[in-house]
A and B are shown apart, each in its own frame.
Chain A
Amino acid sequence: MVVVGASAAGVAVVETLRREGFDGPISLIGAELELPYDRPPLSKRMLSGQWTAERTVLRPRATVEGWNTDLRLATRAVRVDAAARRVILDDGDELAYGDLVIATGVRPRLLPGLPQVPGVHVLRTLADAVALRDALTDGPRLVVVGAGFLGAEAAAVACELGADVTLVSDLEAPLADVLGPELAGMLLDEHGRRGVRVETGVRADEVLVADGRASGVRLVDGRILPADEILVAIGAVPETGWLDGSGVPVGNGVFCDATCSAAPGVWAAGDVASWEHPGLGERIRLEHRTNAGEQGMAVARNLLAARAGRPATPFAPVPYVWSDQYDLTIQIYGRPRPGDALRIVEGSTAERSLVALHGRDGRVRAATGINRPRQTRAARALVARAAPWETGSAPEHGEREGVPA
């Protein structure tokens, strides 16, 4: 058994395989140097300096060792021969597999022609977070290009650390495509109130360089934002290049069926996996931390079922993502889309605490909570069963959370 990618999804696969009693050999291949660590803190308490790097480990070393795997860190899989069922590593080693799990995640998308000079940052790895944190120590001018979860979180932390922050959003407000105009507007106000300048409805064109380091960002409208440090946070692309020519189907991610299988004996989990979500009736790929864990568990169980000749189970989670910005905790169940109807069912934007439902095609499709974790979780049930939009504004009496639709 070979698992490629030693992060949230890969760890969940291995942990579940062992927990389900699989005691055969497992090779866990990870390109990074560190023991598996967690990424969400990298734009939150690790970036702010409240946490040290050690705090981000996913599992204590003893637990990792207890899995008894052939763990190869700082090692990259460079090729797969799916017909011969072999993985080729960058040190020349070849590993035969019965089952291969692809958990290689995503890497940051870059601006075209982005210069590789000091002062230009992305934020995906522990090393990225350390570099950005170190760059924020003496109140620099920081331009954050991209106001998705990552950019908005980093802007919030940088601002709290005393940086002079400009956040560039190609939408009318940070996360407007996910949250809708009303809630994104609240977020826009919050960033403004804290002292972050937000340039909305405009894209960055180019990173400017002077004396060998980043000096600013030119926007497509010609304006120039001077900067000492620049964070490019414009999304991510699946790490599938090493699968080219392998016979494993890839497009926007590894293309899997509803059970997360991509080819005989090949599975994918986490940010890299695109699969047919049976409940939603469409192919999706999620870059969410909880999904990496849940999908890793599902793949491990399906893989063992297939080996035992039992049917695999379709993977049909309720997507969940959260984001911390300043003292706001934003939690989203389901998949909101631009143009969804929005109804605030508890609290209000003025209170900075609320639960809102997103409706589409007459059904509740998603729920967003701000600073109301418990109540937001209760609204998850409405998303899970796609409650009717008109009547389904409150959990039904006695409804138990977590029961799938």
Chain B
Amino acid sequence: MRITIDEDRCCAAGQCVLAAPDVFDQRDDDGIVILLDADPGPDQHAAVRDAAAACPAAAIMVEE
């Protein structure tokens, strides 16, 4: 799995952190997404796909 994020789209909703807290975090000042792990293990895959689907800004792209 390969995750990319588009910071410019991110609207700091934090839905990704709620869905996959081991993979995503938010910057302190403006809440923009931080990718903690661009290639997480299989145990995280379902959570990451949930995060990508839940992101209200379509800012998270996932490739297998």
In the assembled complex, the CB of B8 is this many whole angstroms from the nearest CB of chain A, namely 9
CA of A289 to CA of B12, assembled, Å: 13
> Which of B11, B21, B53, B55 makes the CB contact (< 8 A) with A402?
B21
Which A12-26 residues have C-beta < 8 A from chain B? 12, 15-16, 19
Chain B 1-25 interface mask (CB, 8 Å, partner A; 1/0): 0000000010111110111010000
Chain A residues whose CB sits within 8 angstroms of the CB of B19 once the complex forms:
402
- Cβ of A40 within 8 Å of any chain B Cβ, yes or no, is yes
Q: Which residue of A lies closest to B31 (CB)?
A: A373
| CB of A268 closer than 8 Å to a CB of B | no
Contact B54 A290 (CB under 8 A): yes
The CA-CA distance from A55 to B58 in the complex, in Å, is 10
A293 with B13, Cβ < 8 A, contacts A38-B58, A374-B26, A374-B31 known? no
Would A377 and B54 count as touching, CB distance under 8 A?
Answer: no
**A40-B11, A324-B11, A401-B21 known; A373-B53 Cβ under 8 A:** no
Instruction: Quote the shortest CB–CB distance from B38 to chain A (angstroms).
Output: 19
Q: Is chain B's interface secondary structure helix, strand, loop, or mixed overall?
A: loop
Interface residues of A in 262-297 (CB under 8 A from B): 289-290, 293-294, 297
Q: How close is A198's CB to chain B, nearest CB, in angstroms? A: 25
The interface on chain B, measured as residues whose beta carbon lies within 8 A of the other chain's beta carbons, has a size of 23
**Known interface pairs A294-B54, A297-B50, A374-B31; A322-B18 also in contact (CB < 8 Å):** no
A contacts with B: majority SS = helix
Residues of B near A16 (CB, < 8 A) are 53
Q: Which A residues lie within 8 Å of B28 (CB)?
A: 374
User: How far, in angstroms, from A59 to B58 measured CA to CA in the complex?
Assistant: 7
Determine whether the beta carbon of B54 is less than 8 Å from that of A402.
no
Complex Cα gap A294–B11 (Å) = 17
How many residues belonging to A are interface residues under a CB distance threshold of 8 Å? 29
Report the bound CA distance from A15 to B60 in whole Å. 14
Residues facing B in A46-96 (CB within 8 A) are 55, 57-59
Chain A residue at smallest Cβ distance from B25: A374
Bound-state CA distance A289–B53 (Å) is: 12
Q: Which residue of A lies closest to B17 (CB)?
A: A377
Given A38-B57, A373-B31, A377-B26 in contact, is the A402-B12 Cβ separation under 8 Å? Answer: no
Q: Is the CB of B13 within 8 A of A320?
A: yes
Tell which of B15, B26, B53 has the most Cβ of chain A within 10 Å. B53
User: Would you call A401 and B53 a contact (CB within 8 A)?
Assistant: no
Q: Could you tell me if B18 and A293 are in contact, using CB atoms closer than 8 angstroms?
A: no
| Cβ B14 vs Cβ A373 within 8 A | yes
CB distance A401 to B18 under 8 Å? Answer: yes
- Minimum distance in angstroms from A138 CB to a CB of chain B: 28
Q: Which residues of B contact A8 (CB under 8 A)?
A: 56
CA A102 to CA B15, docked complex, whole Å: 24
How near does chain B come to A364, taking the closest CB pair, in angstroms? 18
B12, B27, B54, B57: the one contacting A40 at CB < 8 Å is B57
Q: Are A331 and B13 in contact (CB under 8 A)?
A: yes
Q: CA of A380 to CA of B13 in the docked complex: distance in angstroms?
A: 12
In the complex with contacts A373-B31, A374-B31, A297-B53 CB distance below 8 A: yes
Q: Does A349 contact B (CB under 8 A)?
A: no
Closest 10 interchain pairs by CB?
A: A373-B31, A373-B12, A402-B18, A377-B14, A289-B56, A290-B56, A374-B26, A293-B54, A58-B58, A374-B31
